[in-house]
Amino acid sequence: MSIIQTDLTRINSFVFDVDGVLTDGLLYAFADGEQVRAFNIKDGFAIKHAIRQGFNVAIISGKNEPGVRIRLESLDIEDIFLGVEDKVEEFENYIYLQGIHPATVAYMGDDMPDLEVMQRCGLRACPADAADDIKAISSFIATRDGGKGAVRELIEKVMKAQDAW
C-alpha cells in the first residue's frame, strides 16, 4: 500500500465503482438472465461505519443490476448512480449538488472507465489488481484486490488518519 502526497485529514467523501472494486470483477450469469456478484462483508462494514461517522459515500457504476442496488441500499448508501455512461458528468453533478470540493474526495476505481473521473479527485485509489493505467495515476494502491477488502483498507486508512475509526 502506498499513499503519495495526500493529506488524508482533508478527505470527507468516498466514491466507489462497483465491479472490480466492491466486487472481485467476476460476474455469474444464469440461464434466466440474472447476473450475480459477490460483495465483501468487511467492505460493507467499513462503508456503514464511514456513513455513521459523517462521511459522504457515493457509488458510480456503468452497470445497473437490481441486486446491486439492493445491496448498496442495505449499506445505507443514499447516493447510488448505476447505469452511468459518463462517470465524469455524474461525478461533477454529484459534488456540485452536495457542495463537495473535489480535493476532499477519495475515489476508488479499477479500470479505464474510472480514469478520467479519478484525475479530478483529491485521493485517487485502486485495488491491488487494478489495471496498470489506473495504478499509474493512483496515490493509494491497496494491498488487497477488489472485492477482497480493498475498500475497507482505504476507508480504514483515511478514518484512522482522522481519529474517526
The answer on whether 110 is annotated among ligand-binding residues is yes
* 68 grid coordinates: 446491486
CA pair distance 46, 105, nearest whole angstrom: 16
The answer on whether 17 is annotated among ligand-binding residues is yes
Residues in Cβ contact with 34 at an 8 Å cutoff, skipping those fewer than 6 apart: 67
Cα dihedral 101→107→113→117 (10° resolution): 20
Phi-psi region of 29 (alpha: psi -120 to 50; beta: other; left: phi over 0): beta
CA 118 to chain centroid: 10
- Binding site feature residues for substrate: 19
Instruction: Extract the annotated binding site for Mg(2+).
Output: 17, 110
> Which residues are known binding-site members?
17, 19, 110
